[in-house]
Amino acid sequence: FSSTELAQAYLQRIGNLNSQYNAFITLTEEQALAQAKAADEARAAGNAGALCGLPIAHKDLFCTQGVRTSSASKMLDNFVSPYDATIVNRLKNAGTVMLGKLNMDEFAMGSSNESSFYGPARNPWDTERVPGGSSGGSAAAVAARLTPAATGSDTGGSIRQPAALCGITGLKPTYGRVSRYGMIAFASSLDQAGPMARTAEDCAMILNAMAGFDALDSTSAERDTEDYTADLNQPLSGLKIGLPKEYFSDTLDAGIAEQVRNAVTEFEKLGATVKEVSLPNTELSIPAYYIIAPAEASSNLSRFDGVRYGYRCADPVDLEDLYKRSRGEGFGPEVKRRIMVGTYALSAGYYDAYYRKAQQIRRMIQQDFIAALNDVDVIMGPTTPHPAFKLGEKSSDPVSMYMEDIFTLSLNLAGLPGISVPCGQTQGLPVGLQIIGNYFAEAKLLNIAHQFQ
Ligand code: GLN
């Protein structure tokens, strides 16, 4: 079949099913068909690369030229980006076909998709449950087969946690491996874009197009790219796996613990050896993250002032009224909570008590990982402490929502790569195994995940 037929089939499936999942918030049918036609032509001319004609959809915080890019906020509901994010551009040049833009938590702040201005995306395994967040639309769309692949972003778990909750594969690369240019910033020292798809092999192919140095992102790593599909079939004999004792405490869901332990046994059968490691400051990662991320967010979001672009309140009486009401009306409650926490933590007099302390903890967490990864090749554990929870179950209790990130956000504080791979079910819901590697060990993580799949 042709790329055009493939794109049409997906567009039709989205048309039939999206109302159940609310995964897509913008459909780009016209662009998709034009790109599919170009892919068919490239194929006919014999110059089609591996991704040529692959349908894909982007989380709505990646700028897409001529297409609304909302970050799922009322603030940007009317914003049509004049340019493409680097990853969007790279994937376009690789011949992918953009189906549309995907739902997410507002400005990527959340773990359930419930903070979206467009209403939550729903988990295809049980539509009464959350798909996770913030890349919940990406995970739901891949799980419901509305797209074979999607992009996501991960500041504290937003690729890995929804991947786990929806039973798909999601990779957060090393900080700096993938360009952040044109990705609407949440917390710039933590944000990283990555692929979400059914398998590690699919993620590897997509990462090949996404990764690489970008002069437009000052934190982009000046390091050669590699072919992430090259080592997928490396045998795992001799692989040293570390299991952090802090990850298997009483608060971990028993069904998740069981599935993760079963997965580890499978790796032993593939020739790996397992030992216990310690990440003693794991518990501190939540308070440290929830100072650093809001602090950076409060600074990043100061650009939304109702003047240059985005939402503007009606009939402002003066400039101050314009700022106040545009921001007051344009941001949702979780975003406001973060801006207030972040502004407070950065204020004179509180900076040393909160922000500096959080940065010191960040360093300790990084050192814990470096010490553990001196002893083992990779660290494994659960991606989340619980399977997908019910819509509304945690939305009135921010701290219990924040606790869902316990296993994911320490990697962002350390800048390390991690992948979530489906590893069975509990209570009829998918379980995610998280594999954590050393800096720039993406190829190894994909190899390990591929051998397991
Ligand atoms: N759930 C975390 C938060 O709310 C992480 C979000 C993310 O990775 N974008 O900040």
State the complex-level ipTM. Answer: 0.98
Residue 71's pLDDT is what?
98
Examine domains 3-210 and 241-285+360-452 and report if their fold is the same.
yes
Ligand 1 mean position to 108 CA, how many Å? 6
Tens-place pLDDT, residues 227-281: 999 999 999 999 999 999 999 988 899 999 999 999 999 999 999 999 999 999 9
Provide φ and ψ at 397, rounded to 5°: -130, 85
Rounded to 10 deg, the angle between the 254-269 and 442-452 helix axes is 90
pLDDT of 210 above 90: yes
What's the average model confidence in pLDDT over 98-125?
98
| Ligand 1 centroid, distance to 105 Cα (angstroms) | 9
Q: Identify the residues whose C-beta falls under 6 Å from ligand 1.
A: 108-111, 134, 154-158, 186, 293, 405
- pTM, two decimal places: 0.98
What would the pLDDT profile of 49-104 be if each residue is shown by its tens digit?
A: 999 999 999 999 999 999 999 999 999 999 999 999 999 999 999 999 999 999 99
What are the tens digits of pLDDT across the range 285-339?
A: 999 999 999 999 999 999 999 999 999 999 999 999 999 999 999 999 999 999 9
Q: What are the tens digits of pLDDT across the range 422-453? A: 999 999 999 999 999 999 999 999 999 999 99
Residue 134 annotated as catalytic: yes
- Confidence at residue 357, expressed as pLDDT on a 0 to 100 scale: 96
| pLDDT at residue 338, rounded to an integer | 97
Closest residue by Cα to atom 5, ligand 1, is 156
Q: In the numeric block, which tokens belong to residue 73?
A: 């906020």
Q: For the chain, give the mean pLDDT.
A: 97
Q: Is 357 a catalytic residue?
A: no
Residue 398 has pLDDT above 90, yes or no: no
What residue spans define the domains of the chain? 3-210, 241-285+360-452, 301-353
Whether the Cβ atoms of residue 436 and residue 378 lie closer than 8 Å to each other: yes
CATH of domain 3-210: 3.90.1300.10
Q: Tokens in use for 379?
A: 């660290």
Which CATH class for the 241-285+360-452 domain? Answer: alpha beta
Cα–Cα distance measured from residue 453 to residue 448, given in angstroms and rounded to the nearest whole number: 9
Rounded to 10 deg, the angle between the 333-346 and 285-300 helix axes is: 100
Please pick, among 111, 115, 135, 158, the residue that the annotation labels catalytic. Answer: 158
